Amino acid sequence: MKRASLLSLGLAFGVVAALPAAAADKVTWTFSLYGPPRAATVTFEHLAKVAKEKSGGNFVINLKYNEQLGEAKDFLDGIKVDAFQGAFVAYSYAPAKTPLQGVLDMPFLPIADLDASAKVQDAYQAWKPVAEELSKWNAMHFMTLLLPQYEFMGTGKPPRSIEDWKGMRVRALGGLGDAMKLLGAVPTSVSAPEVYTALERGTFQAASFPFTYSFTAYKLHEVSKWYTLGMQLGVVHNSVVLSEKAWKALPDEYKKILEDAKPEAYRLQREAYAEADKKSFPLFEKRKLEVVKVTQEMRDKLIATAAKPVWDHWVAETEKKGLPGKEALELVLSLAKKHATN
């Protein structure tokens, strides 16, 4: 069945599913996800499991993987018309829809670890200008999809020095792509499910992904010759996004079930990444991939060349749109400092 047909079905289904319900009524939601089941999707799987168990089977969340209900870049459009009630949203796939989200995709932000990332991102999403921007799409941030720092995996000549990035075509989105451009690379935006084929065909020579789980989830190690270690480029952030209409219609007891599931979902995410690392490294070794270790000296040069200039440019461009870019960056940096040791 074509995606358009599935989206139409989703539209019809979603409108019915989001109707107000009494607390004991049966409620069915659908979440639209991109990519296959993997470490990053344990949050959705946990929410679906807990919703069903705690409601005695009355609150069911169906998970649709691999863009069954439409392309990832259109997930906010689907939320807006209530085609589905939740989605795995990567904001950089359609940056013009939510410009203020771009600050979280800036390279080399001083966010120490996954715990700090959750606190920084959840607090930023609660900021009124950001929440209002999402609300225009009938959308609300529910929780952060934690992602490890990005590294590169690729083919061809390994980038053993900063100069080796010059002229290299790379898959890098948002601010991460802007950073790579300053290093002389040629960034391109390709959604995650399309990366394997593009890398295999030589459309680009390297792809940035959360390290390590995404590389094996999308099987990039099968068509690559090397990967970086220690670059810690940043993240392309994602959220669990819900339909405001569906949330408002949800009985309070079901809202509480989802809210109470958050801490465990975050714990499961962290554990899933740790487990993925244990499985990934042996696969990398089996393929005899070269490890391109990024020294602290090299990383300092990367930050000097490609961090603050990208931040400043993003602020300037966002301010031109009449949006509080400077305030957004200052908020993220202050939140990062606040949660650096907490």
- Condensed to tens digits (0 to 9), the pLDDT of residues 289-326 reads 999 999 888 888 888 888 999 999 999 999 999 999 99
Fold classification of 150-235+276-338 (topology level): D-Maltodextrin-Binding Protein; domain 2 (3.40.190)
Contact at 8 Å (CB) between 122 and 143?
yes
Q: Are strands 169-171 and 86-90 parallel, antiparallel or unpaired?
A: unpaired
| 59: β partners | 27
What is the DSSP code string of 61-99? EEEE-TTTTS-GGGHHHHHHTTSSSEEEEEGGGSGGG-G
Q: What ranges do the domains of the chain cover?
A: 3-94+114-145+237-272, 150-235+276-338
Q: Tell me: domain 3-94+114-145+237-272, CATH 3.40.190.170, correct?
A: yes
Cα–Cα distance, 217 to 89 (Å, whole number)? 18
Cα–Cα distance, 181 to 310 (Å, whole number)? 10
Cα–Cα distance, 326 to 219 (Å, whole number)? 39
**What is the pLDDT confidence band of residue 174, given thresholds at 50, 70 and 90?**
confident
Cα–Cα distance, 48 to 44 (Å, whole number)? 6
Contact at 8 Å (CB) between 238 and 104?
no
pLDDT in tens, 190-203: 888 899 999 999 99
**What is the pLDDT confidence band of residue 21, given thresholds at 50, 70 and 90?**
very low
Task: Check for a shared fold between 3-94+114-145+237-272 and 150-235+276-338.
Answer: yes
